[in-house]
Amino acid sequence: MKPPTSIEKAASVLDRLAEPPYTMSLTEVADFLSMSKPGALSMLDAMEQCGFVFRDSLTKRYTLGASLVRLGKAFLEQSDLEDTVMPHLVRLKETTPGGRGHTYLSIWDGRKCFLLLSVDFLHDRRTYGPYEGGGIPLHAGLTAILLAAYQDQATIRRMLEAAVPLKKVTENTLTDIDQIMEHYRRVREQGYHLGNEGYRIGFVGIAAPVFDKDGRAFAAVALSCPKTLLSREALVESYLDGVLETARVITRKIALRG
């Protein structure tokens, strides 16, 4: 196996800083990358000059830099995803009882699944940004399971094996890799994922894939509701078709953008 390039090392540091506790020391970075401290410092200095990381002058610890906010906003603007997706998420949310459902779009970046656009179920407002921790667990999250099911399964298995022991987020969370891979197979076969308190107790949801112009599942539309609002059966009966159609409409619009 080829050793990681400097860019791959820098990307892995950014990934780690996007997860709790969101900070690393020079020693921790060097150990994480199996590098010497001078080598790690040289890389971090270059990342700091670009605004990708920030070094606190008092604690000497590194956090994510403000340039990443600019890059994230640029991605949304150039991809036109916000204008394409948000009206459909709002419309889908408004079909739920009292408009209290939570609709959102998660995206696959090649290594992780994270929330990109959301219409909150607790407030009638729009929220944007990354999911807490920088990534939704591939074995637990509603949209993460859906998107992992559509990726190369050998790669996904290696990612899961590297994360062992997998955290049992709720008593419904699968942590056996063979069972998870079989679950992915069933999700692909039916074309959607029906969640049942695998990540949050008291919540059920449906996620459906959004495909890019090359036919790759790069995003997922989801509708999540408290079980006090809708039972799992009622959610499927009343909203499965709506979630699937929303995903199809967004897929078609993305294809037309070309």
pLDDT digits (tens, 9 = 90+) for 158-216: 999 988 999 998 999 999 999 999 999 999 999 999 998 888 899 999 999 999 988 99
Name the β-bridge partners of 54. Answer: 63
Where does 6-65 sit in CATH, by number? 1.10.10.10
pTM: 0.79
**Domain layout of the chain by residue ranges:** 6-65, 70-257
pLDDT digits (tens, 9 = 90+) for 89-134: 999 999 998 888 899 999 998 888 988 888 865 544 444 443 444 5
* Per-range mean pLDDT, top range of 68-77, 81-90, 243-252: 243-252
Distance in angstroms (rounded) separating the CA atoms of residues 25 and 5: 21
Note whether 52 and 68 are within 8 A (CB). yes
Domain 70-257: which topology?
Answer: Beta-Lactamase (3.30.450)
Q: Is 134 exposed, middle or buried (0-12, 13-18, 19+ CB in 10 A)?
A: middle
